[in-house]
Amino acid sequence: MDFDDTPDEAAWRSEVRSFIEEHRDRLGRRSNGREPDQAVARERQALLYDGGLVGITWPVEAGGRGGTPMQQAIVDQELARAEVPGLINLIGIGMCGPTVIHHGSDDQRARYLRRLLRAEDVWCQLFSEPASGSDLAALRTRAVRTEDGSWRVSGQKVWTTLAHVADYGILLTRTDPDVAKHRGLTMFVVDMKAPGVTVRPLRQMSGGADFNEVFFDDVVIPDEERLGEVGDGWRVALTTLMSERLSLGGGGTDIGAGPDAVAAHVAAHLDGLDEGRQSLVRQELGRAYVASLANRYTGYRLLSKISKGEMPGPEASAGKLSGTKVARDLADLAVRVLGDEAAYGATADGAHGWQDLQAGLPGMAIAGGTNEVLRNIIGERVLGLPAEPRADKGITFAESLKGSLA
Partner 1 sequence: MNFDLDDEQRDLAAAARDFLSDVASPGAARTALDDGADVAPGRAALAKSGFATITVPEEAGGGGGSVLDLAVVAEQAGRVLAGPSLVTYARAAVLLAGDARLAALADGSLAVAVVDGSAPVLDAVGADTFLARRGDDVLVGGGTVTRREPIDPTRGLGDVALGDDLTVVAGDAALRWQHAERVGRVVLAAEGLGTASRALEIGVEYAQQRQAFGRAIGSYQAVKHALVDVYVQVEQLRSLVWWAAWAADQAPEELPLAAAAAKAAAATALEQAAETLIQVHGGIGFTWEHDAHLFWRRAKVDRLLLGDDVAAYDEVARLAMAGAR
- Determine phi and psi for 124, rounding to 5 degrees: -135, 165
Contact code string over 296-335 relative to partner 1, x by CB under 8 A: -xx-xx-xxx-xx------x--x--xx-------------
Out of 21, 244, 275, 372, pick the active-site residue. Answer: 244
Other C-beta atoms lying within 10 Å of the C-beta of residue 239: 19
Inter-residue contact 316 to 304 (CB < 8 Å): no
Element (H, E) at 218: strand 211-221
* Residue placing its CB nearer to partner 1 in the complex, 62 or 318: 318
With CB under 8 A as the contact rule, the residue among 209, 238, 264, 346 that binds partner 1 is: 264
* Cβ neighbourhood burial of 249 (10 Å; 0-12, 13-18, 19+): buried
* Residue placing its CB nearer to partner 1 in the complex, 4 or 148: 4
Inter-residue contact 321 to 366 (CB < 8 Å): no
Task: Tell whether residue 14 is a contact of partner 1 (CB under 8 A).
Answer: no
Point out which span in 54-62, 156-164, 216-224, 278-286 binds partner 1 (CB under 8 A).
Answer: 278-286
Task: Tell whether residue 1 is a contact of partner 1 (CB under 8 A).
Answer: yes
Task: Tell whether residue 287 is a contact of partner 1 (CB under 8 A).
Answer: yes
Interface of this chain with partner 1, residues 68 to 127, rule: CB under 8 A = none
Q: How far is the CB of 234 from partner 1 (least distance, A)?
A: 23
* Residue placing its CB nearer to partner 1 in the complex, 217 or 372: 372
Task: Tell whether residue 9 is a contact of partner 1 (CB under 8 A).
Answer: yes
Inter-residue contact 364 to 358 (CB < 8 Å): no
3-state SS, residue 214: strand
What letter represents residue 210's amino acid? D
Q: Closest by alpha carbon to 90, among 319, 367, 370?
A: 367
Q: 259: which residues sit within 8 A by CB, 6+ positions away?
A: 288, 289, 292, 293, 326, 330
Q: How far is the CB of 366 from partner 1 (least distance, A)?
A: 16
Point out which span in 57-65, 91-99, 156-164, 259-267 binds partner 1 (CB under 8 A).
Answer: 259-267
* Residue placing its CB nearer to partner 1 in the complex, 194 or 293: 293
- Is 341 an active-site residue? no
Q: How far is the CB of 312 from partner 1 (least distance, A)?
A: 13
What letter represents residue 196's amino acid? G
Q: 288: which residues sit within 8 A by CB, 6+ positions away?
A: 259, 262, 326, 329, 330, 333
* Cβ neighbourhood burial of 273 (10 Å; 0-12, 13-18, 19+): middle
Site residue total, partner 1 (CB under 8 A): 54
Task: Tell whether residue 8 is a contact of partner 1 (CB under 8 A).
Answer: no
d(CA 396, CA 401): 9
Q: How far is the CB of 259 from partner 1 (least distance, A)?
A: 7
Contact footprint for partner 1 (CB under 8 A): 1-5, 9, 259-261, 263-264, 266-267, 270, 279, 281-283, 285-287, 289-291, 293-295, 297-298, 300-301, 303-305, 307-308, 315, 318, 321-322, 372, 375-376, 378-380, 382-389
Active site residues: 244
